[in-house]
Structure 1
């Protein structure tokens, strides 16, 4: 291309206005020049974000063909007209289906048979995508509800025990404030009942006379559980429980046997349950184990030999948690005097994440060797010497995820989900009586997907302190370990959340361009048990960041990745990780995509009035009261540690209505990065003006969001073209040469 024909470089926007604002804590004063952007109602803020979006469009405009190609590949590989495997509840089979060209799912049901043959009665009806379903009743069509609205998301669905009423809640702004409505499924009409400003989670009482829901306070913390009696004014809704500790999160569920309302209060370090007997609601709430005991636990009522008990999943003298059986009357005694029977003992190598119940079995969720697994234990003989050993469904892949999808209390089967990096999602029914697995569905990948064209394997990267960091490495099978390959490294690393193996149609678009996709299971996540989490939180948080950098160094040193062709991606707390590694080792990354990034963490957590801030103290520490936490966080919080170095190209992606990570954090960060960097790589801010924490709503919109992020990364690392297996070597070398030339020619 001639110089005359070259497209001119987009003009960098006028720098953001700087207005000094002081923040002083523990004798330290930080001057924040961009905090004026916090005022969402300020027209200057909207104008600034709009201007930045225009610049982002200009800088990344040449990536549009690649974005279109990735979007098309996702669409072409996806069975757009599809449905979930029906799940039975009482007299109905419930399922969701999608239709080609439509953004949202349609919630449906068909009547179930009752023949007396358990096998037949619990075999889901065969429903073929795209074909009419005899007797189908559409309960809720998300496409119709979303018409004319800038955003649409469901916050909860619940059906009465007799199947006559549906409760649902919808958000039309992306701010996670939902409106609760009740629908008569016989007539299709909405009841007059309408409850605004509810949070996630809905449940009907067993008799269907009332619906339970949660409410958030001004800082977006769920703090109330309320009950709405159908047919009564919303103003009369009763507060069943209110939690006033600003550091505690409140939620609820109806117990598996439908006998109790279980209200859970807690955070990552300890919890408390308040229980309401739904047969005797006037008796009030009963506390099981007080938060004062500092035990982190979950509880589920169960009747054993005719006696009311609770199954506790807890960390009492058990860092990785264990399961105990406790008679209900024991909770009236001091903790030291209570009799607890061990059901699943503590194991340093196995993390017990929780349990569910059917009428006959306990279903356990455990993690061993990083892998999430399901175990099943009969209730018969529970807590006695005759107790059975847990059984575990057997799968033949090294890296997989197996989860409980549904355990209807009276069902002779439980529904399991299964997936891996190479296996599209499967749905199994596990027969409780004999342990057999019945495959109900494997998600179809269109276009001739062949899993043998790819490899998924576990590698271990040494951290500076000698800790081995597990990596999940997915790559095209044809790639050669010659140091020329492009790579995308992804991680999260907070809240004990594990990045489990899972199939991704979108990821195939990266793999087919010769890119190695690596998930770094850094400390702060839950992949290696509770200790792994504790080694990456509070005053050990920096391990999360250095682990990611060490994992990147390992990929280069192992010969799998070209040091000039690595992009990093992370979102939310993983976006904080992206900001931290950008400051820590900017030279190691050709590009960084920070999705809804928590990059101004110290400012946010210092203000308990901001959404969810006080709840963060148990993850990061409390910098308001603890000067050591303040000092430690100030050393890594990304916005306050931007320095004069050559930063890689960076995309900060956010949403104007996000209530979890406010748009102001990436907006300020980008302004400071652009002012401070000594390099010439573009640093852009992309704001979805109608989205929430997850971006825009609707599946096609989400696919376009993913395509945007992936195109930004792939373009930076010189991997924009699909690579056929018969020309992989030459294409890889050519792309590597071009990317390396770009790096050498760039002033950065």
Structure 2
């Protein structure tokens, strides 16, 4: 029988329902307590039922409203769908899947965020370690031994703190499986020797507040990326595997200020640090035997994203990787450590180099004087840029970078004369851990301020103007865009949001939601801290809607999204449309406020290729209509 079939049969056998003896009895007092608790749950159930019925009515109302507005965009949407099919077919070999698998983990990408779905690691041929995702979180690690059909899965690790999320990875040399228990601000790593899978996991360093670390293994040494140093940004430290505690950690390499660590690779006896500074990618290479000197290799200026070869040749002297950008398909490169030379590989990817667009890196002075990076793409031959359409991307949360991978649909926009801008605001991770700290908790408003100064700087530098400017964001990026729409709606003409987080306060006040407690390290805890209640209330997009002239807004929501609930988006849309209608009485024609509710799917959107193209075409049709772009009679 196939090993995978056996695996799932055994997983099923490993979980037995708990049974209770009929001899169990309850005291009268306990029975009364249970009765009172049941009545409380019944009342809560009634409230939930009323809310559900109310939401169903709102959903039906929104579906009717969307149907009444869709004819305005329908023909243009079909035209864009055909154009997208053509351009995506052209780059099919370069286009990354919406779902990709690496090291036994399935990843989903969503506008700058990477999410994991299923995790498993083989120790030996007959021993498997895995986690189970329940309510958007993994808290337990199980071991399954194959070969004996009577063997049940055994729990080897359990995380009791709801703020922490458990994941499994394997060290790059393949010797250890690591159990990584991470919150937003702290981490703890346990090691499982793959040759001795029955031994209990061993902790590297017990968790401490604000201590983040990640572990690799090489020749009985643990190489630890950590913020343990005084700067609170990443350093590479090492210790012998027999003495793993932080009191034994010694610095090997310190990352410079304003540099973001993208990844670290161990190749032969060399360490390769992949870095980014204000958008420019580089490699720092040094010997693990003698960390000095460090070789610095600057990568091509057009490169914005790097992906290491899936199977590194650890005993070789070369490092293979691919470089890309949002408008540049992946190109293969090779760095020879012996020769200290960077080569473009002679394969089909070398034909992908695009020379008809330009990448420009700007720095916008923030309201406090801090420079905020912006990356801009446009056609080399583009003239009169102050009247060209501008699409601005932003995220700014969780220390995550904006996604810079190649997306073929962006080529369509460039061909039509668009300018694409990526604003790397504080709260994201583009300039290291300190960049994230500068935009989280009681500094969340700084991300909104940064977005505002980025837009003003782009317009001042001659990139488009407010009536030709659109914003695009998803998930937590919705907080910044929604906040900007409340504070400075005159800077933009249209907005496209995908599963956006817009109701921060009510979400963080509801501990029954699956991620509320985990998210407190990013947004704060308004339940227990009145200071955070007032602070979140002051910037929360939903809480600050007011009658004024908003930009046109298209929100795409998914019914099965458990991260950003449909109920919150229904509330937001209703309140915003009422505010726009109130302003319309005194100010003139109202803008379009549309909620596009898609059946099924989750926070990551459609996994079907056709549905994905349809969604992008719908977004483009909305943007072209609302910005009143002239396509010269080429569209239907």
Instruction: Please confirm whether the aligned pair reaches a TM-score higher than 0.5, indicating the same fold.
Output: yes
- Cα distance change of structure 1 residues 586 and 442 upon mapping to structure 2, 3 Å threshold: farther
Counterpart contact for 2:105–2:119, Cα < 8 Å = no
Cα distance in 1 for partners of 2:349, 2:48 equals 43
Indicate conservation of the 8 Å contact 1:407/1:415, yes or no. Answer: no
Are residues 248 and 482 of structure 1, via their aligned partners in 2, closer, same or farther at CA, if it must alter by over 3 Å? closer
CA RMSD for the aligned pairs? 3.3
Q: Which residue of 2 aligns with 1:287?
A: 203
Q: Is the 8 A contact 2:127 2:197 kept in 1?
A: no
Give the C-alpha shift of residue 322 in structure 1. Answer: 0.9
Give, in whole Å, the separation in 1 of the partners of 2:396 and 2:134. 28
1:415 aligned partner: 320
- Tell me, in whole angstroms, the C-alpha distance in 1 between the residues paired with 2:366 and 2:217: 43
Indicate the residue corresponding to 1:300 in structure 2.
216
Q: 1:358 to 1:240 in 2, by over 3 A?
A: farther
Secondary structure at the aligned position of 1:316 is classed as: coil
Q: How does 1:727-746 map to 2 (within 5 A)?
A: none
Counterpart in the other structure of 1:324: 237
1: CA distance, partners of 2:372 / 2:160: 39
Taking the aligned partners of 1:709 and 1:36, their CA distance within structure 2 comes to: 38
Q: Contact (CA 8 Å) 1:309, 1:327: kept in 2 or not?
A: yes
Distance 1:653 1:440, change over 3 A: farther
Aligned to 2:304: 400
- What are the Cα deviations for residues 86-123 of structure 1, in whole angstroms up to 9, with x where unaligned? xxxxxxxxxxxx9xxxxx97xxxxxxxxxxxxxxxxxx
- The structure-2 alpha-carbon separation of the partners of 1:422 and 1:37, relative to structure 1 and needing over 3 Å to count, comes to farther
Deviations 1:370-417 (A, max 9, x none): 3344444344x2xxxx44544455433255333324343545244312
Contact 1:366-1:372 within 8 A present in 2 as well: yes
Aligned residue among 511, 518, 522 for 2:425:
522
2:410 aligned residue: 507
How many Å separate the matches in 1 of 2:117 and 2:393? 30
Match of 1:699 in 2: 609
Deviates more, 1:359-368 or 1:257-266: 359-368
**Separation in structure 1 between the aligned mates of residue 455 and residue 564 of structure 2, nearest angstrom:** 26
Supply the distance in 2 between the matched residues of 1:40 and 1:255 (Cα, whole angstroms).
Answer: 51
Quick one: which of 622, 625, 633 aligns to 1:712? 622
Residue 622 of structure 1: which of 516, 520, 525 is its match?
Answer: 525
State the distance in 2 between where 1:709 and 1:350 align: 34
Residue of structure 1 in register with 2:121 after alignment: 203
Tell me the alpha carbon deviations over residues 532-588 of structure 1, each in whole angstroms, 9 at most, x when there is no partner: 221111111101111112222222333322222211111001122221111111222
Normalising by structure 2, report the TM-score.
0.82
Specify the alignment match of 1:597 in structure 2. 500
Preserved contact between residue 512 and residue 723 of structure 1 (Cα < 8 Å):
no
CA contact (8 A) 1:537 1:619 kept: yes
Corresponding position of 2:40: none
Shift of 1:504: 2.8
Superposed displacement of residue 656, structure 1: 0.9
8 Å contact from structure 1 (residues 578, 593) kept in 2 = no
Question: Residue 371 of structure 1 contacts residue 500 of structure 1 at CA under 8 Å; is this kept in 2?
Answer: no
Contact 1:322-1:345 at 8 Å conserved across structures: yes
Whether 1:455 aligns to 2:373 is no
- Separation of aligned partners in 2, 1:81 and 1:644: 45
What secondary structure is seen at the aligned counterpart in 2 of 1:330?
Answer: coil
| 1:531 correspondence with 2:447 | no
Contact 1:598 1:661 in 2 (8 A): yes
- Structure 1 residues 444, 352: closer, same or farther in 2, change over 3 A? closer
Deviations along 1:173-208, one digit per CA (max 9) or x if unpaired, are xxxxx9xxxxxxxxxxxxxxxxxxx94222222x22
Label 1:693 to 1:354 Cα distance change in 2 as closer, same or farther (>3 A): same
1:278 aligns with 2:194: yes
Q: How does 1:25-36 map to 2 (within 5 A)?
A: none
- Residues 231, 668 of structure 1: alpha-carbon distance in 2 compared, 3 angstrom cutoff: farther
Which of 314, 317, 320 is matched with 2:226 structurally?
314
Choose which of 533, 538, 541 in structure 2 pairs with 1:638: 541
DSSP 3-state at the match of 2:481: helix
How far apart are 1:243 and its partner, in Å? 0.6
Q: Indicate how the Cα distance of structure 1 residues 459 and 80 shifts in structure 2: closer, same or farther if over 3 A, else same.
A: closer
Q: 1:548 to 1:708 in 2, by over 3 A?
A: same
Q: Counterparts of 1:234 and 1:654 in 2: how far apart (Å)?
A: 45
Alignment size in residue pairs: 574
Which of the residues 358, 364, 380 maps onto 1:477?
380
Check conservation: 1:156, 1:200, Cα contact below 8 A: no
Deviations 1:284-304 (A, max 9, x none): 12111111364211111111x
Between structures 1 and 2, the one with greater helix share: 2
Instruction: Say if 2:573 and 2:593, in contact at 8 Å, map to a contact too.
Output: yes
Deviations 1:651-679 (A, max 9, x none): 11111112222222212110111122223
Q: Assess if the C-alpha contact under 8 Å between 1:538 and 1:621 holds in 2.
A: yes
Alpha-carbon separation, structure 2, partners of 1:40 and 1:477: 57
- 1:65 aligned onto 2:83: no
Supply the distance in 1 between the matched residues of 2:269 and 2:632 (Cα, whole angstroms). Answer: 52
Q: Residue 169 and residue 694 in structure 1: after superposition, are their counterparts in 2 closer, same or farther (change >3 A)?
A: closer
Report the secondary structure of 1:437's partner residue: strand
